[in-house]
Structure 1
Amino acid sequence: MNQDWYKLLPRVRNEQPLVHNITNVVVTSFTANGLLALGASPVMAYAREEVADMARLARAVVLNIGTLDHTVVDAMIIAGKSANQQGVPVIFDPVGVGSTAFRLEMARKILSEVKVSVIRGNAGEIAGLIGKTGMTRGVDALEQEAGNLVETAATCARQYRTIVAMTGKEDILTDGVTHYMVQNGHPMLTKVTGTGCLLSSVLGAFVAVEENHLLAAVSGVASYGVAAELAARKTGEKGPGHFQILFLDQLYRLSEEDLSSLGRIQKL
């Protein structure tokens, strides 16, 4: 990995890219606050009548199917096609994709009509996209059943011709040929709803400023994980409520020095 991966964070803050999110109702506020803390500019627009225009204005578009229906899917496809026409990168978060037939059908519909730059999901969700079933329970991955995580992620990347960011205890980033593991993060992230969804939007901010989308994904995931570790240190035993607030604070305070000293990235 380029040793300057941590230099993408100041680029995000300097450029303040507009990230258009069509995300789920559970995480909208947390996602917006997280992007603002990081230094990006969030916008949440869902109406079919305006999403194409908003996608054209944005530097990245994030599609998150956490709370989906046909209207939302239609808006996502309109926004995604508009982004594709303008060369705006699209990040796709297939929340809980293996849990119901409808969710899987809609995810595959979006992926068949929109070219995505990055797919960010847990092991069960990534496996679900390539037809491996029985690995997702609700929106949580049963990672112990996922088998070879690297091969699962790489297969998904090759199938959809995209970067895959498979996140979990250890994060796998791949373009289908080149693979990286990021070992930053903290278990407290699993105790706050929306941390995975926010990460997908954070990846949108990093992809917006860097044409090498694999580098951007690795940098975004590692930066997010370091912020979580630093927040957990300060939280102590206070619990997820304190962690959530301190995590936002840490995204705001995160420095290049933090990343260069604490980032744990390994090429596989």
Structure 2
Amino acid sequence: MASTISWADQAVRDELIALKHHQPFVYGLTNYIAANLSANALLAVGAAPAIGAALDWPSRFAAGANALWINGAALMSSGPDTLQTAARSAHEAGRPWVLDPVAFGAGSPEYDAAIRSLLPFKPTAIRGNASELIALAGGEGGKGVETTARSDDALPIVQRLAKTTGAIVAVSGPVDYITDGDHVLATRGGDARLTQVTGAGCTLGALIAALLANTKSPLQAVGAAHAIYKVAAERAAHARGTGSFAVAFLDELSLLDPAN
């Protein structure tokens, strides 16, 4: 049975309070399509982002940052060894890190193998759409970066995935589910235009990493990231189209006040 979580919950607000207080340094390897939105979203909530694989950043920044996120599409411009270096460095330094296996199971065996090679470095959280996470758990994947399954359908599978990996696993959809294998959080709402903004899903991984940086409960932190994302999208509903929605979404992230 899932427990509902939303912006109205003090636990969610407390996670954002901690983020804004600590202003964590969050390092990311992501694709060039999502990098700008990811960086701006982190700045909007008070984190300090660095993105990219310049020289020794994957080893130094991954170990020295407060948290790391790796989006699989970083392989568009970096090799598997770069992602492995970052994951290994974070793991060995005891830093929380997030894996987003974007497009996993979409029919690219070499890519899928590169993503699987990161699992031994024990991601703190894994987030994705239903098809990606079903495929990561051994099932059938989706169509490119789009899901062909619903988050409701994926829930029992992601619960098993959480137990086998030791990670908090979060599946996005009309209802987002976040689980450690035993406990399940659910958050509803948002705005459908999130699916029409390039990099919006990828950016959620960055926000999860920021909230994991200074939390006592990884499950609550990942749940809070989803709840914060939903409420910012809802408050951006006044935007006329998808372009202005993306800007309004960043505005609403920056305007979230845990006291109100």
TM norm structure 1: 0.89
Match of 1:263 in 2: none
Which residue among 210, 214, 222 is the counterpart of 1:217?
222
Aligned residue number for residue 180 of structure 2? 175
1:18 corresponds to 2:25: yes
Partner letter of residue 219 of structure 2? L
Deviation at residue 50 of structure 1 after TM alignment: 3.0
Q: Distance in 2 between matches of 1:195 and 1:154?
A: 24
- Which residue does 1:164 correspond to in 2? 169
Shift of 1:43: 0.4
Give the drift of 1:69.
5.5
| Number of positions where the alignment pairs a residue of Structure 1 with one of Structure 2 | 252
Does the 8 Å CA contact 1:48/1:78 hold for their aligned counterparts? no
User: What amino acid is the match of 1:45?
Assistant: G
Q: Does 1:103 align with 2:103?
A: no
Report how far residue 71 of structure 1 moved: 4.2
**Following superposition of structure 1 onto structure 2, how do residues 51-62 of structure 1 map, counting pairs within 5 Å?**
51-62=58-69
Q: Which has the higher contact order (CA 8 A, sep 6+)?
A: 2
TM-score scaled to structure 2, two decimals?
A: 0.92
| Aligned 8 A contact 1:17 1:208 in 2 | yes
Name the counterpart of 1:249.
251
Match of 1:138 in 2: 144
Counterpart in the other structure of 1:240: 242
How far apart are 1:86 and its partner, in Å?
A: 1.3
1:154 counterpart = 2:159: yes
Between the aligned partners of 2:110 and 2:139, the Cα distance in structure 1 is 16
SS of structure 1 residue aligned to 2:138: coil
Shift of 1:3: 4.5
Quote the Cα distance in structure 2 between the aligned partners of 1:179 and 1:128.
Answer: 20
**2:132 aligned partner:** 125
Shift of 1:47: 3.6
Deviations along 1:164-192, whole A, 9 cap, x unmatched? 01111100100011111111311010110
Shift of 1:207: 0.5
Structure 2: gaps spanning 5 or more residues = 4-8
* Structure 1 unaligned spans of 5+: 259-268
For the aligned residue pairs, the C-alpha RMSD in angstroms reads 1.7
